[in-house]
Amino acid sequence: MPNFFSDNSDILFQLNRLDLKEIVNVLEDNYNESKNYNYAPVNFDDAMENYRKTLEIIGDIAGNYIAPRATDVDHEGAHHIDGKVQYAKGTKENLDRLAKADMMGLVIPRKYGGLNFPFTIYLVATEIVSRADASLMNLFGLQDIADILYKFGTEDQKEEFIPKFTTGEYLGAMALTEPDAGSDLQAVKLQAYQNDEGKWFLRGVKRFITNGNAEVLLVLARSESGTKDGRGLSMFACYGDKTVKVRRIENKLGIHGSPTCELQFNDTPAQLIGSRKFGLIKYVFELMFRARMGVSAQALGISQMAFEEALSYAKDRVQFGKSIYSIPAVSNILIDMKVTLESNRTLFYNTGWWVDKKDSLELLIERYKKEGKSTTDLVNELKYTTKIANLLTPISKFITTESANKITYDSLQIHGGTGYMKEFRVERLARDARITNIYEGTSQMQIVSAISGVIHDVLKEYFDKKEVKEYSGSFAVLANHLKEIRIIFNDSLKYVMDKKDTNFQDVSAKELVELYTFIYTGYLLLDEAESNSRKRFIANRYIINSLANARKNAETIKNETYSDLLHLDEIVK
Amino acid sequence: MYNSIVLVKQVPDTANISGKVMKDDGTVNRAKLPAIFNHEDKIALEFALQVKDKFGGKVTAVTMGPPRAADVLRECLYMGADEAYCVTDRKFAGADTLATSYVLSEAIKKIGNYDFVFAGRQAIDGDTAQVGPQTAEKLNIPQITYAEEILDIKDGKIKIRRKIDGGFEIVECRLPVLITVLKGAAEPRPFSAKRVMAFKNAKSLMEIEKLVEGNSLLYADDLLQEYKSRKLFIETLTTDDLDVDLERCGIKGSPTKVHKVESVVLAGGNHIKIEPTRDGISGLIDSLMEDRIF
Q: What is the pLDDT of residues B82-123, one digit of tens each?
A: 999 999 999 998 888 888 999 999 999 999 999 999 999 988
Instruction: Flag whether pLDDT at B12 surpasses 90.
Output: no
Assess contact for A141 and A291: CB atoms under 8 A.
yes
Pairing of strands A260-273, A200-210: antiparallel
Angle ∠(A4,A6,A7) on CA atoms, nearest 5:
65
Q: Using CA atoms, how far apart are residues B71 and A381, in angstroms rounded to an integer?
A: 46
Strand partners of residue A270: A200
> Would strands B143-154 and B177-181 be described as parallel, antiparallel, or unpaired?
parallel
CB-based contact A103 B231, cutoff 8 Å? no
> Which of A39, A57, A65 minimises the CB distance to B198?
A39
Domains of chain A: 1-141 (1.10.540.10), 172-277 (2.40.110.10), 280-457 (1.20.140.10), 459-567 (1.20.120.470)
In a domain, B199, yes or no: yes
Q: Give chain B's count of helices (H) and strands (E).
A: 8, 12
Q: Say if residue B27's pLDDT is above 80.
A: no
A444 min Cα distance to partner chain B (Å): 39
Instruction: Report the 10 Å Cβ neighbour count for A366.
Output: 11
Query: What does residue A434 show for φ and ψ, rounded to 5 degrees?
Result: -65, -25
- d(C-alpha A225, C-alpha A276), whole Å: 12
Backbone angles phi, psi at B9, to 5 degrees: -140, 140
B47 within domain boundaries: yes
Q: With beta carbons less than 8 A apart as the criterion, state whether A424 and A418 touch.
A: yes
CA distance A112 to chain B (A): 13
> Chain B closest CA to A293's CA: distance in Å?
23
Reference B9, options B92, B115, B131; nearest CA is B131
| Residues whose CB falls within 8 Å of the CB of residue A423, separated by 6 or more in sequence, listed in order | none
Please return the burial class of B277, using the count of CB atoms within 10 Å of its CB with bins 0-12, 13-18 and 19+: exposed
Partner-chain contact B190 A61, CB within 8 Å: yes
d(CA B28, CA A514): 60
Q: Is the ipTM of this complex over 0.85?
A: yes
Sequence-distant contacts of A331-337: CB under 8 A, at least 24 apart: A333/A410, A333/A413, A333/A414, A334/A307, A334/A310, A334/A414, A335/A541, A336/A410, A336/A541, A337/A303, A337/A306, A337/A307, A337/A310, A337/A407, A337/A410, A337/A411
∠ CA(A167), CA(A169), CA(A175), 5° rounding?
115
Query: Residue B158's pLDDT band (boundaries 50, 70, 90)?
Result: very high
Closest CA to B84 of B128, B129, B40, B37: B37
Chain A: residue whose CA lies nearest to B194: A39
User: By the CB < 8 Å criterion, does A61 face chain B?
Assistant: yes
- Picking from B191, B231, B232, B233 by the largest number of A CB atoms within 10 A of its own CB, the best residue to mutate is B191
Q: What is the pLDDT of residue B269?
A: 73
pLDDT of residue B268 exceeding 80, the answer is no
Q: What is the largest CA-CA distance in chain A?
A: 81
Q: What confidence score (pLDDT) does residue A285 get?
A: 87
What single-letter amino acid sits at B76? C
Q: How many domains is chain B built from?
A: 1
Asked, for residue B253, whether it belongs to a domain, the answer is no
Are residues B193 and A100, on separate chains, in Cβ contact within 8 Å? Answer: no
Any domain includes B9 = yes
Give me the total of CB pairs closer than 8 Å, taking one residue from chain A and one from chain B.
44
What does the H/E/C string look like for B76-104?
HHHHCCCEEEEECCHHHCCCCHHHHHHHH
Q: Closest to B191 (Cβ–Cβ): which among A39, A50, A101?
A: A101
Residue B159: predicted pLDDT = 96
B120 forms beta bridges with: B181
Q: Kindly state whether residue B159 falls inside one of the protein's structural domains.
A: yes
User: Which of A34, A48, A54, A106 is the best mutation test for B, with the most CBs of B within 10 A?
Assistant: A54
User: Rounded to whole angstroms, how far apart are CA atoms A77 and A258?
Assistant: 7
B26 pLDDT tier (thresholds 50, 70, 90): low
CA pair distance A146, A469, nearest whole angstrom: 43
pLDDT category at B218 given cuts 50, 70, 90 is confident
Chain A contact set for B190 (CB, 8 A): 57, 60-61, 65, 97, 100-101
A262 bridge partner residues: A248
Helix (H) or strand (E) holding A75: helix A67-76
Q: What percent of chain A has pLDDT over 90?
A: 94
**Cβ–Cβ below 8 Å for B190 and A97:** yes
CA separation for the pair A74, A132 (Å, rounded):
12
Terminal-residue alpha carbon distance, chain B:
48
pLDDT band for position B256 (50/70/90)?
A: confident
Q: Does B76 fall in a domain?
A: yes
CA distance B175 to B117: 10
* CATH value at residue B91: 3.40.50.620
Assigned domain for B198 exists: yes
Q: Strand, coil or helix: what is A250?
A: coil
> Alpha carbon of A79 to those of A206, A246, A248, A314: distances in Å?
19, 11, 9, 36
Give B 164-223 residues with CB within 8 A of chain A.
189-198, 200
Q: In which domain, by residue range, is B91 found?
A: 4-248
pLDDT at B18: 63
Pairing mode, strands A216-222 and A318-319: unpaired
B32 touches chain A (CB under 8 A): no
Looking at the predicted structure, is the pLDDT value of residue B19 above 90?
Answer: no
A225-229 long-range contacts, CB within 8 A, separation 24+: A225/A191, A225/A193, A228/A186, A229/A186
A49 in B contact zone (CB under 8 Å)? yes
* Cα gap A460→B74, rounded to integer Å: 51
Q: Cβ of A101 and B198 within 8 Å?
A: no
Q: Can you give the pLDDT at residue B294?
A: 66
Q: Categorise residue A217: left if φ over 0, alpha if ψ from -120 to 50, beta otherwise.
A: beta
- A99 touches B at CB < 8 Å: no
Residue A566 CB burial class (10 angstroms; 0-12, 13-18, ≥19)? exposed
All residues of chain A having their beta carbon less than 8 Å from the beta carbon of residue B195 are: 39
In this complex, the residue of A38, A40, A100 whose CB is nearest that of residue B190 is A100
- With CB atoms and an 8 Å threshold, state whether B190 touches A50: no
> Is residue B20 within 8 Å of B29, Cβ to Cβ?
yes
Residue-averaged pLDDT of chain B: 90
Peptide bond just before B176 cis, omega within 30 deg: yes
On whether any CB of chain B is under 8 Å from the CB of A101, the answer is yes
Nearest to A200, CA basis, from A237, A230, A229: A237
Distance CA A566, CA A137 (A): 42
CB A114 within 8 A of CB A99: no
Contact B194 A39 (CB under 8 A): yes
B196 vs A54: CB contact, 8 Å cut-off? yes
pLDDT tens-digit series, residues A208-233 = 999 999 999 999 999 999 999 999 99
Pick from B191, B198, B231: CB nearest A57 = B191
Mean pLDDT of residues grouped by 10 in chain A (573 residues)? 95 96 96 95 97 98 98 97 94 97 97 97 98 97 92 96 96 94 92 96 97 96 94 96 95 97 97 94 89 97 98 96 96 98 98 97 96 95 97 98 98 97 95 97 96 97 96 94 98 94 91 98 97 96 98 93 88 93
| B280 within some domain | no
Beta strands in A35-158 (DSSP E): 79-81, 84-86
